[in-house]
Amino acid sequence: MKSGLINHIVVFYIRLCIIYAMGIFPKFVHHDSCNTIYPFILYKRISEQYNNKDILNLVKGLIPYSILKLYYSDQDLKAVLRWFKADFMMWMPEFLKCKKCDSEMDSHVIIGSSWKLRATEIYSCKQCGLEQIFPRYGEIRNIVIARVGRCSEWSMLFGAILNSLSIESRLVHDFLDHCWNESLINGNWLHVDSTLEFPISFNHPHYYEQNWGKKYRDMF
Protein backbone atom coordinates (compact mmCIF):
# COMPACT_ATOMS: atom_id res chain seq x y z
CA MET A 1 0.00 0.00 0.00
CA LYS A 2 2.76 2.42 1.00
CA SER A 3 4.97 1.55 -1.97
CA GLY A 4 2.03 2.03 -4.33
CA LEU A 5 1.38 5.48 -2.91
CA ILE A 6 5.05 6.39 -3.23
CA ASN A 7 5.03 5.28 -6.87
CA HIS A 8 1.97 7.48 -7.56
CA ILE A 9 3.69 10.47 -5.98
CA VAL A 10 6.90 9.87 -7.95
CA VAL A 11 4.97 9.61 -11.22
CA PHE A 12 3.03 12.78 -10.38
CA TYR A 13 6.24 14.66 -9.58
CA ILE A 14 7.89 13.48 -12.83
CA ARG A 15 4.87 14.69 -14.81
CA LEU A 16 5.14 18.13 -13.24
CA CYS A 17 8.86 18.29 -13.95
CA ILE A 18 8.28 17.40 -17.61
CA ILE A 19 5.53 20.01 -17.90
CA TYR A 20 7.75 22.65 -16.33
CA ALA A 21 10.77 21.69 -18.49
CA MET A 22 8.67 21.94 -21.65
CA GLY A 23 7.45 25.37 -20.65
CA ILE A 24 3.77 24.45 -21.01
CA PHE A 25 2.75 24.80 -17.36
CA PRO A 26 1.03 28.20 -17.93
CA LYS A 27 -1.49 26.46 -20.20
CA PHE A 28 -2.96 24.86 -17.10
CA VAL A 29 -3.46 28.21 -15.41
CA HIS A 30 -7.04 29.48 -15.22
CA HIS A 31 -8.61 32.49 -13.49
CA ASP A 32 -10.10 30.27 -10.83
CA SER A 33 -7.21 27.89 -10.29
CA CYS A 34 -5.57 27.79 -6.90
CA ASN A 35 -2.31 29.19 -8.21
CA THR A 36 -0.84 31.16 -11.04
CA ILE A 37 2.75 30.32 -10.16
CA TYR A 38 4.52 27.16 -9.06
CA PRO A 39 2.00 25.28 -6.91
CA PHE A 40 4.24 23.64 -4.35
CA ILE A 41 5.82 26.95 -3.33
CA LEU A 42 2.35 28.37 -2.75
CA TYR A 43 1.11 25.36 -0.79
CA LYS A 44 4.21 25.33 1.37
CA ARG A 45 3.61 28.98 2.25
CA ILE A 46 -0.07 28.32 2.96
CA SER A 47 0.90 25.48 5.32
CA GLU A 48 3.35 27.79 7.08
CA GLN A 49 0.61 30.35 7.57
CA TYR A 50 -1.67 27.65 8.99
CA ASN A 51 0.94 27.18 11.72
CA ASN A 52 1.54 30.86 12.37
CA LYS A 53 0.02 31.77 15.75
CA ASP A 54 -0.37 35.46 14.89
CA ILE A 55 -2.32 34.63 11.73
CA LEU A 56 -4.47 32.06 13.54
CA ASN A 57 -5.28 34.58 16.28
CA LEU A 58 -6.14 37.16 13.62
CA VAL A 59 -8.58 34.94 11.74
CA LYS A 60 -10.16 33.55 14.88
CA GLY A 61 -10.86 37.13 15.94
CA LEU A 62 -12.93 37.58 12.78
CA ILE A 63 -15.57 35.11 13.96
CA PRO A 64 -18.44 36.81 15.83
CA TYR A 65 -18.84 35.74 19.45
CA SER A 66 -22.33 34.41 18.78
CA ILE A 67 -20.99 32.10 16.05
CA LEU A 68 -18.11 30.91 18.24
CA LYS A 69 -20.55 30.20 21.05
CA LEU A 70 -22.68 28.06 18.74
CA TYR A 71 -19.61 26.21 17.49
CA TYR A 72 -18.28 25.42 20.96
CA SER A 73 -21.68 24.41 22.33
CA ASP A 74 -22.66 22.20 19.38
CA GLN A 75 -19.17 21.18 18.14
CA ASP A 76 -20.67 21.69 14.69
CA LEU A 77 -19.26 23.70 11.78
CA LYS A 78 -22.69 24.62 10.43
CA ALA A 79 -22.80 28.09 11.99
CA VAL A 80 -19.21 28.89 11.00
CA LEU A 81 -19.73 27.80 7.40
CA ARG A 82 -22.97 29.77 7.07
CA TRP A 83 -21.44 32.91 8.58
CA PHE A 84 -18.36 32.73 6.35
CA LYS A 85 -20.36 32.33 3.13
CA ALA A 86 -23.29 34.63 3.87
CA ASP A 87 -21.76 37.38 5.98
CA PHE A 88 -18.00 37.55 5.58
CA MET A 89 -16.66 36.67 2.14
CA MET A 90 -17.79 38.00 -1.23
CA TRP A 91 -17.58 35.97 -4.43
CA MET A 92 -15.65 37.44 -7.35
CA PRO A 93 -17.39 36.54 -10.63
CA GLU A 94 -15.18 35.61 -13.54
CA PHE A 95 -17.13 37.81 -15.95
CA LEU A 96 -17.95 41.32 -14.77
CA LYS A 97 -20.43 43.96 -15.83
CA CYS A 98 -19.53 47.59 -15.41
CA LYS A 99 -21.02 49.09 -12.25
CA LYS A 100 -21.35 52.43 -13.99
CA CYS A 101 -22.93 51.62 -17.37
CA ASP A 102 -23.77 47.89 -17.08
CA SER A 103 -21.64 46.95 -20.10
CA GLU A 104 -19.58 43.77 -20.17
CA MET A 105 -16.00 44.38 -19.10
CA ASP A 106 -12.87 43.11 -20.83
CA SER A 107 -10.21 41.48 -18.71
CA HIS A 108 -6.57 40.51 -18.78
CA VAL A 109 -4.32 38.82 -16.26
CA ILE A 110 -0.88 39.90 -15.13
CA ILE A 111 0.97 36.89 -13.71
CA GLY A 112 2.57 37.60 -10.34
CA SER A 113 6.23 37.12 -9.57
CA SER A 114 5.67 35.84 -6.02
CA TRP A 115 3.34 33.56 -4.09
CA LYS A 116 2.30 36.65 -2.11
CA LEU A 117 0.62 38.17 -5.17
CA ARG A 118 -0.11 35.26 -7.50
CA ALA A 119 -1.72 37.35 -10.21
CA THR A 120 -3.67 40.54 -10.84
CA GLU A 121 -6.84 40.53 -12.90
CA ILE A 122 -7.67 43.88 -14.50
CA TYR A 123 -11.18 44.51 -15.77
CA SER A 124 -11.91 47.50 -18.00
CA CYS A 125 -15.04 48.89 -19.59
CA LYS A 126 -14.73 49.99 -23.23
CA GLN A 127 -17.82 52.15 -22.94
CA CYS A 128 -17.01 54.37 -19.98
CA GLY A 129 -13.41 53.48 -19.13
CA LEU A 130 -14.11 52.22 -15.62
CA GLU A 131 -11.46 49.81 -14.30
CA GLN A 132 -11.67 47.21 -11.56
CA ILE A 133 -8.65 45.37 -10.18
CA PHE A 134 -8.73 41.97 -8.51
CA PRO A 135 -5.44 40.95 -6.84
CA ARG A 136 -5.03 37.19 -6.31
CA TYR A 137 -3.30 37.08 -2.94
CA GLY A 138 -1.47 34.18 -1.34
CA GLU A 139 -1.04 35.95 1.98
CA ILE A 140 -3.94 35.23 4.31
CA ARG A 141 -3.69 38.66 5.95
CA ASN A 142 -4.39 40.33 2.61
CA ILE A 143 -7.30 38.00 1.87
CA VAL A 144 -8.75 39.02 5.24
CA ILE A 145 -8.50 42.68 4.27
CA ALA A 146 -9.95 42.17 0.78
CA ARG A 147 -12.76 39.79 1.84
CA VAL A 148 -13.34 38.87 -1.79
CA GLY A 149 -12.17 36.03 -3.97
CA ARG A 150 -12.91 32.77 -5.67
CA CYS A 151 -12.44 29.22 -4.46
CA SER A 152 -8.71 29.60 -3.82
CA GLU A 153 -9.02 32.69 -1.62
CA TRP A 154 -12.02 31.22 0.17
CA SER A 155 -10.35 27.90 0.92
CA MET A 156 -7.01 29.47 1.92
CA LEU A 157 -8.74 31.70 4.46
CA PHE A 158 -11.29 29.17 5.68
CA GLY A 159 -8.52 26.60 6.19
CA ALA A 160 -6.81 29.11 8.46
CA ILE A 161 -10.06 29.67 10.37
CA LEU A 162 -10.48 25.93 10.86
CA ASN A 163 -6.92 25.60 12.15
CA SER A 164 -7.55 28.52 14.51
CA LEU A 165 -10.38 26.44 16.01
CA SER A 166 -7.88 23.59 16.56
CA ILE A 167 -9.30 21.64 13.63
CA GLU A 168 -6.30 20.45 11.62
CA SER A 169 -7.06 21.38 8.03
CA ARG A 170 -5.35 21.44 4.68
CA LEU A 171 -5.92 22.85 1.21
CA VAL A 172 -7.02 20.60 -1.65
CA HIS A 173 -6.57 21.60 -5.30
CA ASP A 174 -8.04 19.29 -7.92
CA PHE A 175 -6.21 20.90 -10.89
CA LEU A 176 -9.64 20.91 -12.57
CA ASP A 177 -10.30 24.46 -11.51
CA HIS A 178 -11.49 24.11 -7.93
CA CYS A 179 -10.17 24.21 -4.37
CA TRP A 180 -11.59 23.20 -1.01
CA ASN A 181 -10.42 22.09 2.43
CA GLU A 182 -10.08 18.79 4.20
CA SER A 183 -10.30 18.69 7.99
CA LEU A 184 -9.21 16.01 10.42
CA ILE A 185 -12.34 15.34 12.47
CA ASN A 186 -12.74 12.28 14.70
CA GLY A 187 -9.75 10.66 13.04
CA ASN A 188 -11.00 11.11 9.46
CA TRP A 189 -10.13 13.65 6.78
CA LEU A 190 -13.47 15.20 5.80
CA HIS A 191 -14.38 17.39 2.84
CA VAL A 192 -15.16 21.04 3.72
CA ASP A 193 -16.02 23.54 0.96
CA SER A 194 -16.88 27.01 2.21
CA THR A 195 -18.02 28.10 -1.28
CA LEU A 196 -21.01 25.73 -1.17
CA GLU A 197 -24.25 26.01 0.76
CA PHE A 198 -24.57 24.00 3.97
CA PRO A 199 -25.06 21.02 4.30
CA ILE A 200 -23.42 20.30 0.90
CA SER A 201 -20.38 22.25 2.12
CA PHE A 202 -19.58 19.59 4.74
CA ASN A 203 -18.56 15.99 4.02
CA HIS A 204 -19.87 15.70 0.47
CA PRO A 205 -16.65 14.77 -1.39
CA HIS A 206 -18.46 13.29 -4.41
CA TYR A 207 -20.50 16.43 -5.05
CA TYR A 208 -18.23 17.65 -7.85
CA GLU A 209 -18.39 14.39 -9.79
CA GLN A 210 -22.12 13.98 -9.28
CA ASN A 211 -23.13 17.59 -9.98
CA TRP A 212 -20.32 19.34 -11.87
CA GLY A 213 -19.29 16.49 -14.15
CA LYS A 214 -15.72 16.38 -12.88
CA LYS A 215 -13.76 13.19 -13.47
CA TYR A 216 -10.98 12.41 -11.02
CA ARG A 217 -8.26 9.91 -11.76
CA ASP A 218 -5.67 10.41 -9.01
CA MET A 219 -5.97 11.88 -5.51
CA PHE A 220 -2.97 12.80 -3.38
How far is Cα 45 from Cα 39, in angstroms, rounded to an integer?
10
Q: At what angle do helices 39-50 and 151-164 cross, to 10 degrees?
A: 30
Catalytic residue (one of 98, 151, 179, 191): 151
Catalytic residue (one of 34, 98, 179, 193): 193
Count CA atoms within 13 Å of residue 151 on its CB side: 21
How far is Cα 167 from Cα 161, in angstroms, rounded to an integer?
9
Query: Catalytic annotation on 102?
Result: no
Backbone angles phi, psi at 6, to 5 degrees: -60, -40
Query: Catalytic annotation on 30?
Result: no
| CB contact set of 112 (below 8 Å; sequence gap of 6+) | 36, 37, 118, 119, 120, 136
Query: Catalytic annotation on 34?
Result: no
Catalytic residue (one of 34, 173, 178, 191): 178
Q: Point out the residues that are catalytic.
A: 151, 178, 193
